[in-house]
Structure 1
Amino acid sequence: MAESIVSTILEQLKEITINKAREAWSLVRGAEKEVERLESNFKALRLELEDAEEREYQDKRVKHWLDKFKDVAYDMEDVLDEWEIAVAKRWG
């Protein structure tokens, strides 16, 4: 009888472990897709940034916009770096 209880508990623990692993994998996969999307957007924004840098000397509004944009871009880079470090610590 004790063997039956232990067997049942082990089976339940196995199922819980499998379900948690699936959930974790799903979260990582979803996050990876989001990071890929953000990286793609970031590349497009860098092209805009290059164009704005060429025009900043002719238009003060562009310079102001460019300064704000650079701040946001650096914040985005920091967030992506922190995410990569967190993922590496957890899964690496």
Structure 2
Amino acid sequence: MATATAPIKVDAATDELVSHAAHFMSRSKKDIVDAAVREYIDAHREEINAGVKNALGMLNGTDVAAVSMMTGLSADELDELGGLPT
């Protein structure tokens, strides 16, 4: 699998923490962030999976369901705003 690099933005305080950790652990900032994100996701995997299941449960294959989930508007509220093209 090819790896791609994508920039991320963090506030100055977080960048400083990452920089210090990288320096004192003799690792790159990229390695520190990669390990931290992977550990965070592993620690919260059940919560993430529950969110995915909840989102999938809200979708029924219609455009209305997808737009409702993305906007937070109910199907009735979408209809009041003019609905979606069929």
* TM-score normalised per structure 2: 0.27
Bigger radius of gyration among the two: 1
* TM-score normalised per structure 1: 0.26
Q: Which of 1 and 2 has higher RCO (CA within 8 Å, sep 6+)?
A: 1
